């Protein structure tokens, strides 16, 4: 068994233990870091179950017919050691079921609210794009990146009390049909990556989209500019929605409405993957109200951010004017 170390901004040490290099998690968490202080989070993918200490508790569940189990042990510095096992898609399930819920709490301890969103940097400031699954976040992100914007993050971000944006997931997550909207990037993919995209599409077709895997790619493989290892001040937040047929339109959105939408979206993901939050809090004896603290951090962080609702026509496809409106709002 070997260890790989990562750092999640602003300063969370993560160690992954596995028998082989965790490729997906390396894409998601970014470059490995040198050995340093005691990590706040240890994820053990080589755990096989069996006997455990009195300090540990084990929870079991099923994700789309794939059984999984997770052993939770409180760490000495307020973090956790998590042992995770599943017969299939172990890294993917460990990411969503165990790693991200733990990072949500560790980030909040540092005054950073975890949200589901993508972001890019242009003119020295960040644009955050969020919305329900299928609303077009990644498509618009790719369009902005093709026009020279710098990639900050996809899927999950942190927004600090000071209104600064940091990546949590550092890779782009998409399907083949999404990447087809950015032909110049598609042309940069290696043959192995193209095969992976086609395999993901085949898996979705064979399971009737019961399993609909995303392919995670680091931005360097697509030749993209990145914001680097630093926080970026948020200038605007754009919430995407699909409406009735008609023209693309932009409307102002109040911060409390943004927070409510983000909370509902997170609750839906908790239903999909299961939420270990209560068990993680119990393991370290923390009874604080996570949701209230999360809302308070977001209220402060978004207080100086211009928030809008970008309404797109119902159905598939991305109107050409949508990107113009995204880059022009605020």
Which of 162, 139, 166, 163 lies closest to 152 in space, CA to CA? Answer: 166
Low-confidence winner among 92-101, 216-225, 317-326 (lowest mean pLDDT) = 317-326
The rounded mean pLDDT for the chain is 86
Instruction: List Cβ neighbours of 129 (8 Å cut-off, separation of 6 or more).
Output: 117, 118, 119, 120, 137, 140, 141, 237, 238, 240, 326
Q: How, if at all, do strands 56-63 and 125-130 pair?
A: unpaired
- Is residue 86 within 8 Å of residue 102, measured between CB atoms? no
- Is residue 312 within 8 Å of residue 249, measured between CB atoms? no
**Range list of β-strands (E), 146-224:** 150-153, 156-160, 164-167, 172-174, 215-217
User: Token pair of 229, please?
Assistant: 């290892």
Mean pLDDT of 144-170: 92
Q: What is the pLDDT of residue 274?
A: 84
Q: What is the pLDDT of residue 87?
A: 93
Q: How many angstroms separate the CA atoms of 15 and 82, rounded? A: 10
Low-confidence winner among 130-144, 146-160, 176-190 (lowest mean pLDDT) = 176-190
Q: What is the pLDDT of residue 209?
A: 65
Q: What is the pLDDT of residues 61-97, one digit of tens each?
A: 998 888 999 999 988 677 899 999 999 889 999 999 9
Q: What is the pLDDT of residues 109-145, one digit of tens each?
A: 999 999 999 999 999 999 999 998 878 888 888 888 8
Question: Quick count: other Cβ atoms within 10 Å of Cβ 173?
Answer: 18
Question: Quick count: other Cβ atoms within 10 Å of Cβ 27?
Answer: 20
Model confidence at 173, in pLDDT bands (50, 70, 90)? confident
Instruction: List Cβ neighbours of 87 (8 Å cut-off, separation of 6 or more).
Output: 66, 67
pTM: 0.88
Query: Domains of the chain (ranges plus CATH)?
Result: 2-110 (no CATH), 113-174+220-328 (3.40.50)
Q: What is the pLDDT of residue 117?
A: 95
Q: How many angstroms separate the CA atoms of 186 and 181, rounded? A: 9
Q: What is the pLDDT of residue 211?
A: 64
User: Token pair of 76, please?
Assistant: 């000495």
Mean pLDDT of 306-330: 78
Instruction: List Cβ neighbours of 144 (8 Å cut-off, separation of 6 or more).
Output: 120, 122, 127, 323, 326, 327
Residue appearing with tokens 């998590």: 82
Q: Report the share of the chain in percent with pLDDT over 90.
A: 46
């Amino acid at each position: 068994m070997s260890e790989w170390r990562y750092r999640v901004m602003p300063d969370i040490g993560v160690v992954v233990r596995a028998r082989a290099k965790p490729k997906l998690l390396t894409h998601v968490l970014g470059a490995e870091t040198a050995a340093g202080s005691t990590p706040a989070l240890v994820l053990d993918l080589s755990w096989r179950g069996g006997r455990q200490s009195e300090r540990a508790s084990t929870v079991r569940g099923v994700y789309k017919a794939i059984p999984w189990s997770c052993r939770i042990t409180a760490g000495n510095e307020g973090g956790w050691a998590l042992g995770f096992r599943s017969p299939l898609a172990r890294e993917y399930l460990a990411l969503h079921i165990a790693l991200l819920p733990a990072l949500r709490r560790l980030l909040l301890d540092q005054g950073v609210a975890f949200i589901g969103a993508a972001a890019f940097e242009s003119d020295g400031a960040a644009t955050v794009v969020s919305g329900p699954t299928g609303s077009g976040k990644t498509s618009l992100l790719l369009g902005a990146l093709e026009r020279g914007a710098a990639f900050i993050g996809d899927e999950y971000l942190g927004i600090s009390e000071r209104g600064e944006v940091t990546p949590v997931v550092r890779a782009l997550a998409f399907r083949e049909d999404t990447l087809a909207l950015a032909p110049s990037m598609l042309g940069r993919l290696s043959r192995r990556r193209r095969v992976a995209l086609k395999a993901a599409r085949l898996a979705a077709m064979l399971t009737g989209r019961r399993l609909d895997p995303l392919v995670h790619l680091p931005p360097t493989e697509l030749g993209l500019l990145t914001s680097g290892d630093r926080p970026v001040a948020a200038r605007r937040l754009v919430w995407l929605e699909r409406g009735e047929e008609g023209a693309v339109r932009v409307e102002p959105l109040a911060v409390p409405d943004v927070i409510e939408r983000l909370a509902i979206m997170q609750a839906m993901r908790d239903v999909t993957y299961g939420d270990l939050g209560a068990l993680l809090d119990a393991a370290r004896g923390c009874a604080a109200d996570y949701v209230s603290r999360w809302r308070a951090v977001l209220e402060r962080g978004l207080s100086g951010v211009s928030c809008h609702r970008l309404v797109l026509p119902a159905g598939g496809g991305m109107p050409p004017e949508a990107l113009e409106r995204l880059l022009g709002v605020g």
